[in-house]
Amino acid sequence: MRSLFLKTSLLLVVLLAVAGFFHHYFWYALSVVLLLTAIGIYNMLQTRHTILRNFPVIGYFRYFFEFISPEIQQYFIERHTDGTPLSRNHRRIVYERAKDLRSTHPFGTELDLYSPRYEGFKHSIYPANEVSGDLRVQVGGADCKQPYSASIYNISAMSFGAISRNAVLAMSRGAAEGGFYHNTGEGGLSDYHLQGGGDLVWQIGTGYFGCRTSEGRFDSESFRDKAAREQVKMIELKLSQGAKPGHGGVLPAGKNSPEIARVRQLEPHKAVISPPGHREFNDAEGLLRFIAKLRGLSDGKPVGFKLCIGRKKEFIELCQVMQSTGIKPDFITVDGAEGGTGAAPLEYSDSVGMPLQPALRFVDETLREQGLREEIRVIASGKIVTAAQLIKMLSLGADLCNAARAFMLAVGCIQAQRCDTNRCPTGVATQDPQLVKGLVVEDKYIRVANFHRNTVESVRGLLAACGVTRLEDLTPDLFMHACDWPETGRNTKPTGTDLSR
């Protein structure tokens, strides 16, 4: 787009200059084109706004619709609470926290508090003065030799391939700056993850990218070498992901550049579809023995698995086999069906898997019933953008949370939803070098760290408002639900009211 802009401007300048000798009106047109060219060149050189860097003049249209005309925006395009997957309000809060700007909201809530779906925190008459501790959680059970102290908020799995080299670098540097982890995603451990310097969770998917034999099986030696790196703090075995449970990872051919193919140990320029299931195991005991193998090969780093809940019976059986074999994962990441992806068939995103809240309650309760909860940490992911959502998941049973799309927004994503076309206009989810150039790592990494810091600070504030001083004191009854309220004629409640809560 940048070179097209320069070539078009040059052509117009030459044509108008020549035409100016025939009629003086063309000189006016020439001055307009020169002015726009100067603005465009300025935008190409600035580093703060990716859209304007990539689309030097027409990029202003986005800002026009967003800021110049709130009425058009409000009535004809998108209200603050509209917008999917992430609402405009949620996108705005990420941008503001990432840029360290005002993140307040004027004039009161825009939500319908009388909707039967409403739920809110029960604040206290006696707010706490401060919340103790650093809001970090130790991960690693009895068999783990190198436990890791994780932040309560981290960057969820996104592969180099799904997102660009500059997005990976900005996220990894931001994680290093803010002291939280960055999950590599199933696309392997790339140089960019390492260069960024952040703590890493290395994810292994069904393609075993970065630790595979030429036949696509798991390669122990290659795994051992990479897992030994100091930056790799934990290993996550991916069983499934909320946006496409039971479907393997998808890398469109256009995004499979030679560099990505090298990291993944594949052939470039071909679409890559990972198998839906693992080849190294096919039952609960096999899965747990594989986890024990990964823990041994990584010299005792925390090893866990990520899944979206489908058949509850299978998870209960898995917990029973943990009991009988004594092999337990150090953590379980529960991804809700509302989770994001770079590319997935619509049927899977819309119709497969359990959403995060019931899944989290189920996993937490099952682990408690089986006496496994003490040793296994639960990580939650699925549209966790604000401090309120984060605390809610911690109350429902998570020990810590991950977010993917919120951190994409922090590095400049505008929810254009073109991740599967290689034409992401902000350079986040594309491998097109011209578009990737627009995302300036120096400018964006600090936004990643700011967004994290401001969100965790907001968690502290909300906890204090509820009179909670320790994460351990969070329980599901911190929430009030519209369906528990006394009957007022508008909201409905299933059975008697418990006014003591």
Ligand X SMILES: Cc1cc2nc3c(=O)[nH]c(=O)nc-3n(C[C@H](O)[C@H](O)[C@H](O)COP(=O)(O)O)c2cc1C
Give the interface with ligand X as residue ranges (CB under 6 A): 156-159, 162-163, 185-187, 203, 238, 241-242, 249, 306, 335, 339-342, 381-384, 403-406, 419, 429
**Single-letter code of the amino acid located at 31:** S
CB of 108 to ligand X, least distance (A): 27
Least distance to ligand X, CB of residue 85, Å: 7
Cα 417 to the center of its chain, rounded Å? 14
Query: Which lies closer to ligand X via its Cβ, residue 308 or residue 466?
Result: 308
**Alpha-carbon distance 289 to 297, whole Å?**
12
Q: How far is the CB of 402 from ligand X (least distance, A)?
A: 7
Judged by CB, which is closer to ligand X: 210, or 382?
A: 382
Min CB(300)–ligand X separation in Å: 23
Q: What is the DSSP letter of 56?
A: T
Reading the block at residue 321, the tokens are 């086999």
Least Cβ distance, residue 443 to ligand X (angstroms) = 21
CB 227 → ligand X: shortest distance, Å?
17
**3-state secondary structure labels for all residues of 213-250:** CCCCCECHHHHHHHHCCCCEEEEEEECCCCCCCCCCCE
Closer residue to ligand X (CB): 33 or 294: 294
| Closer Cβ to ligand X, 33 or 419, answer by number | 419
Nearer to ligand X (CB atom), residue 404 or residue 466: 404
Q: How far is the CB of 382 from ligand X (least distance, A)?
A: 5
Burial of 147 (0-12, 13-18, 19+ CB in 10 A): middle
Residue with Cβ nearer ligand X (352 or 403): 403
Residue nearer to ligand X on the CB measure, 182 or 328: 182
The string of DSSP letters for 14-48 reads HHHHHHHTT-THHHHHHHHHHHHHHHHHHHHH-SS
The phi, psi pair for 226, rounded to 5°, reads -75, -35
Least Å distance, CB 256 to ligand X, is 14
- The secondary structure element, H or E, covering residue 481 is strand 479-481
Contact status, residue 303 vs residue 237, Cβ threshold 8 Å: yes
Q: Contact, 257 vs 272, CB < 8 A?
A: no
Of the pair 319, 384, the CB lying nearest ligand X is at: 384
Closer of 44 and 429 to ligand X (Cβ): 429
Alpha-carbon torsion 159, 164, 167, 170, what sign?
positive
Listed in sequence order, the residues at least 6 apart from 39 whose beta carbon sits closer than 8 Å to its beta carbon are 56, 57
Taking each helix axis as running N to C, give the angle between helix 284-297 and helix 312-325, from 0 to 180 degrees, rounded to the nearest 10.
60
Joined together, the tokens standing for residue 1 give 């787009």
- Written as one letter, the residue type at 162 is A
Output the smallest distance, CB 424 to ligand X, in A. 9
Nearer of residues 239 and 478 to ligand X, judged by Cβ: 239
Minimum CB separation of residue 283 from ligand X in Å reads 22
Long-range contacts of 366-371 (CB under 8 A, 24+ apart): 366/312, 366/315, 366/316, 366/319, 367/319, 367/332, 370/319, 370/320, 370/322, 370/323, 371/323
